[in-house]
Amino acid sequence: MLKRLFKILLFILVIPVYSFGQVTGTGPGYQMMMMNNPALSGSEGDGTVRLSYLNYYPGNNYNLQSVYFSYDSYFPILHGGAGVYVSDDHIGGIVNDLRGGLSYSYFLQAGKDFYINAGLSASIYHRGYNFDKAILPDMIDPLGGVSIPSAEFLANTGHTMFDIGTGFLFIAGKFLGGFSIAHLTEPDLSGTGFSNERLKRELLVHLSGDIDIGQDLGLAMRPVTFLDIQRKFLSMGAGAVVEHKNFSVNAILLGDNSENLNVQTGFSLRSGKIVIFYNYRFNIASGNKLMPFSLLHQAGLALSLNTVDKKNTIKTIKFPKL
């Protein structure tokens, strides 16, 4: 009984850290950032499929995980890039957030070596519930066992809503930066109609560069930084990716206004048209004494499906491999 109560207490204290922004955040990773900044759609030029799997607080049996799929490419007929993405968040085995959307980015050359991408996205959210395995207070007997069924009935009724977002990307030489505003419609994920339950607008600012640090060895360093603000929650991070032709490593320092200081490290491997990457995030300081050390495992791949003949009519970039 005490063990069960401790798990419930830990779950209550830790889950708000995950759900403060109410949806899964992309963090500093560019492989999933198109979901928040549509201006990145097709900005690498070639058509690319991206897959990611994220496991939150691994080893604690919280069952918090997310999967992500996207495809984006440059399309000359559209004078820009377009993409499609799907994400599915499993929260504790009870709540499931399914999101699918389309994004478009218009490419504009504003100067000799200055380019602007303007993006727009439209998506559908569906929040579903499954209370079949939920343990309610009246199901726990004084001896610590579980009696089924509960006297309380919880419906598994889901809720679907529409959302839009916009963003911009600026490319100057070997540096790029962008900002986006997501959840412009402030969708009501819970379906209760209360204003405090609406998904608040989210501002994302991100910067990156491409600096040669060893031309003879084929090494490049890509500094990265980002700032994410949603309502009263603020998170930021800075670090760098060191890349070789077929290998890269990264280290990012992350912090937020909940007094959490985290570090994310990872690597990627390239073989032909396939890039496989892995990231691990851990907590080094926190205002919450029950914060687990292991925060996130992420594994994924990026697969180039088709090569686009750009003919020097557009400016493409290379995403940092994280």
Question: What is the full DSSP assignment across 47-90?
Answer: EEEEEEEEEESTTS---EEEEEEEEEEEEGGGTEEEEEEEEEEE
Q: Phi, psi at residue 16, to the nearest 5°? A: -55, -30
Burial of 138 (0-12, 13-18, 19+ CB in 10 A): exposed
Q: Rounded CA gap, 197 and 22, in Å?
A: 9
158 belongs to a structural domain:
yes
Q: Rounded CA gap, 159 and 84, in Å?
A: 22
pLDDT of residue 50: 95
Mean pLDDT, the chain cut into blocks of 10 residues (322 residues total): 43 44 69 92 91 90 89 92 94 84 94 92 88 58 55 63 95 93 89 78 94 81 94 93 92 93 96 94 88 92 83 73 80
pLDDT of residue 4: 45
111 belongs to a structural domain:
yes
* Pairing, β 114-129 against β 175-182: unpaired
278 belongs to a structural domain:
yes
Q: How far apart are the first and last CA of the chain?
A: 42
pLDDT of residue 307: 80
321 belongs to a structural domain:
no
Q: What is the DSSP letter of 11?
A: H
Q: What is the DSSP letter of 131?
A: -
Domain at 14, CATH number: 2.40.160.40
Task: Give the dihedral sign, CA 272/222/209/39.
Answer: positive
- Report DSSP letters for 14-54, one per residue: HHHHHHTTSS---TT-TTSGGGT-GGGTTTTSSEEEEEEEE
pLDDT of residue 10: 44
Q: Rounded CA gap, 161 and 143, in Å?
A: 43
Q: Rounded CA gap, 125 and 119, in Å?
A: 20
If you search the block for the tokens 């209370």, which residue do you land on?
131
* Pairing, β 64-75 against β 202-209: unpaired
Q: Which residues touch 277 (CB under 8 Å, ≥6 apart)?
A: 31, 266, 267, 268, 269, 298, 299, 300, 301, 302, 321, 322
Locate 123 and state its tokens. Answer: 């998506």
**Domain coverage including residue 30:** 2-306
pLDDT of residue 19: 44
Q: Rounded CA gap, 89 and 96, in Å?
A: 6
299 belongs to a structural domain:
yes
Q: Rounded CA gap, 106 and 120, in Å?
A: 9
CA geometry: angle at 128 spanning 124 and 129, to 5°?
165
Q: Nearest-CA neighbor of 169 among 123, 110, 223?
A: 110
43 belongs to a structural domain:
yes
If you search the block for the tokens 């819970």, which residue do you land on?
190
Element at 184 (helix H, strand E): none
**Domain total of the chain:** 1
176 belongs to a structural domain:
yes
225 belongs to a structural domain:
yes
